[in-house]
Amino acid sequence: MSIFTDPKLGLIPGPFHKKLEEQNRAQNWYDWAGYSAPGVLDSVEFEYFALRNQASLFDISPMHKYRLTGPNTTAMLNRLMTRDVRKIGVGRVGYAIWCDEEGMVIDDGTLFHLGDNDWRLCCQEQMLTWLLDAAWGFDVSVVDETHCVAGLSLQGPTSYAVLEAAGLDVSKLKPFDLSQIHHDLMISRTGFTGDLGYELWCDWDKAEALWDRLWTGGAHQGLRAIGYEAVNLARIEAGFLTAGVDFQPVHATERLHRGQTPFELGLGRLVDFNKGHFNGRRELLSKRETPRSLLMRFDVEGFKPSEGSLIYNRRRKEVGHITSGIWSPTAKRNIALAHVRMPDASRSSGLKAEIYTLQEGKWDTRMARLTPVNKAFFAPPRARATPPART
């Protein structure tokens, strides 16, 4: 068989593929965990503004999803995660990270507490082996649901109105609440955009029906299917990290020292030393005060996006680099996430990014001052209001 017709090669369609294909004018597919996922369906700009101004639908089915059940599940997860998962009540979702024995972050993800000792972990990286290893000695069953649970992220200021028009009542859901609407549809008030939004979870074979239901309801709400590029702009504005971009998941690195501790990623609030033993605790205790670098948020001088730029201190010594950098269309600022080595990260004044530009065949460089920013670049009050607004 010729490689050109080998059906085992290439990307495979996900549960919403037919629906996405109908709307895909840009013919821009990328590889997300083996599935063909849209980078852009139409234009990044208008998809982004649907997300920030009306409502957007983004297929998150390729995320890895693991179902953990059995009498010891909560105890096992508490041993695995750096935060105290006992504080995540039933019907709640928690953001969590987990580390190896060196205290290096393996991945971040969301933990859905579905019921008593019934959890779902949703994350970017493949995690089955690690979960099975972590479950050894606990009475816990781990099932990979990646290819049977479909996920759809509905985000934007009219997302509540879209659900309402589709006959789905989520008026009582607070941020990080989840609700089993009926036996094959769960909705959580979560997302990767920092805006008002929901994630909808259903069986793989119910995906298209769910899509149609939302679409009928969303006709007057400006609903638009979007690709990853628009989501990426929104998540940088919200200050969220992407695995493999803003941090290196340690299981995905050959150079093991490229891993990072939660403290180096600014996620120290997710480490609870008082809850008893957990993976990486011993190392994290000793590494807590000695981060090698810090993940920082910056307001970048000027208007040129700074992604990939090297960072220099006052003495023109290279001390870091920008991992994500965009002009924020909503915050109207030039924003960036960056790794800066100690001790420059703690001084953090006098830093500059060296930004390269290419204009009509001419490369240029400019030095842009970096101003540290403590909070998210964009955190609208509508993201937290309950009941949510319709516009």
Partner 1 sequence: MTVENRYDVIVAGAGHNGLTAAAYLARAGMRVLVVEKNDWIGGAAVSRSLHEGWTYSNCSYVCSLLRREIARDLELPKYGLQVIPYEGGASFTRDADYFAYYSDHNALKREMARHSAKDADAYRGYSQAIMRQCRFIRPFLLRDAPDPASLHPRDLGELAYLVKKAHGQGSRELGETLKFWTMSIGDFLDEHFENDLIKAHLAGSGIIGTGLGVYSPGTAYVLLHHYMGDIDGGIGAWGFARGGMGAISNAIAASFKDHGGTIHTGAGVEKILSKDGRVEGVALEDGKVFYAPVVASNMDIKRTVLHHIDAAELPDDFTKAVRNFKIRGSSAKLNIALDRFPNFPAAPEHTSFLRGDLHVSQSLFELEKAYDDWKVGRWSEKPYIDMLIPSQIDPTMAPTGAHMMTVFVQYAPYDLEVDGVRSAENWNEKQRTAMAETVLDQMSVACPDIRERVVHMEVRSPLEIEREVGLTEGNIFQGELTFDQLFFNRPVPGWSQYSLPIKGLYLCGSSAHPGGGVMGAPGANAARAILRNETRHGRMKGYAA
Considering only the stretches 99-107, 182-190, 280-288, 323-331, report the one whose residues sit in contact with partner 1 under the rule CB under 8 A: 323-331
- Interaction between residue 327 and partner 1 (CB under 8 A): yes
DSSP assignment letter at 380: -
- Interaction between residue 348 and partner 1 (CB under 8 A): no
Which residue blocks in 72-127 are alpha helix, DSSP H?
Answer: 73-80
Cα–Cα–Cα angle for 155, 27, 326, rounded to 5 degrees: 50
Cβ closest to partner 1, residue 172 vs residue 390: 390
Considering only the stretches 11-19, 88-96, 217-225, 257-265, report the one whose residues sit in contact with partner 1 under the rule CB under 8 A: 217-225
Contact 300, 334 (CB under 8 A): yes
Q: Which of 332, 362, 363, 374 binds partner 1 (CB under 8 A)?
A: 332
- Interaction between residue 378 and partner 1 (CB under 8 A): yes
Cβ closest to partner 1, residue 87 vs residue 220: 220
Q: Which of 24, 36, 54, 188 binds partner 1 (CB under 8 A)?
A: 54
Alpha-carbon span 200 to 170, nearest angstrom: 11
Q: Among residues 319, 362, 310, 363, which one has the least CA distance to residue 343?
A: 319
Cβ closest to partner 1, residue 52 vs residue 120: 52
- Work out whether the CA dihedral 193, 194, 196, 202 comes out positive or negative: positive
Alpha-carbon span 366 to 345, nearest angstrom: 21
Cα first-last separation, the chain: 55
DSSP assignment letter at 270: G
> Rounded to the nearest whole angstrom, what is the least distance from the CB of residue 370 to partner 1 in the complex?
15
DSSP string, 180-220: EEETTEEEES--SSSSSEEEEEEEGGGHHHHHHHHHHHGGG
Q: Which of 43, 69, 126, 253 binds partner 1 (CB under 8 A)?
A: 43
DSSP assignment letter at 368: E
- Interaction between residue 391 and partner 1 (CB under 8 A): yes
- Interaction between residue 33 and partner 1 (CB under 8 A): no
CA 86 to chain centre: 23
- Interaction between residue 28 and partner 1 (CB under 8 A): no
Considering only the stretches 110-118, 138-146, 243-251, 326-334, report the one whose residues sit in contact with partner 1 under the rule CB under 8 A: 326-334
Contact 270, 95 (CB under 8 A): yes
Number of residues near partner 1 (by CB under 8 A): 23
- Interaction between residue 52 and partner 1 (CB under 8 A): yes
Considering only the stretches 48-56, 85-93, 336-344, 345-353, report the one whose residues sit in contact with partner 1 under the rule CB under 8 A: 48-56
Q: Which of 24, 56, 73, 158 binds partner 1 (CB under 8 A)?
A: 158
Cβ closest to partner 1, residue 221 vs residue 323: 221
* Helix axis angle, 228-238 to 44-53, nearest 10°: 50
- Interaction between residue 74 and partner 1 (CB under 8 A): no
> Rounded to the nearest whole angstrom, what is the least distance from the CB of residue 368 to partner 1 in the complex?
12
- Residue 91 CB coordination number (10 Å): 16
Cβ closest to partner 1, residue 10 vs residue 361: 361
Alpha-carbon span 3 to 189, nearest angstrom: 44
- Interaction between residue 362 and partner 1 (CB under 8 A): no
> What x/- string results for residues 234 through 273 when contact with partner 1 is judged by CB under 8 A?
----------------------------------------
- Interaction between residue 306 and partner 1 (CB under 8 A): no
DSSP assignment letter at 3: G
Contact 172, 386 (CB under 8 A): yes
- Interaction between residue 161 and partner 1 (CB under 8 A): yes
Alpha-carbon span 229 to 222, nearest angstrom: 19
In 3-state terms the chain splits into helix, strand, coil percentages (rounded to 5) of: 25, 35, 40
Which parts of this chain interact with partner 1 (CB under 8 A)? 43, 45-46, 49, 52-54, 157-158, 161, 220-222, 303, 327, 329-333, 378, 390-391
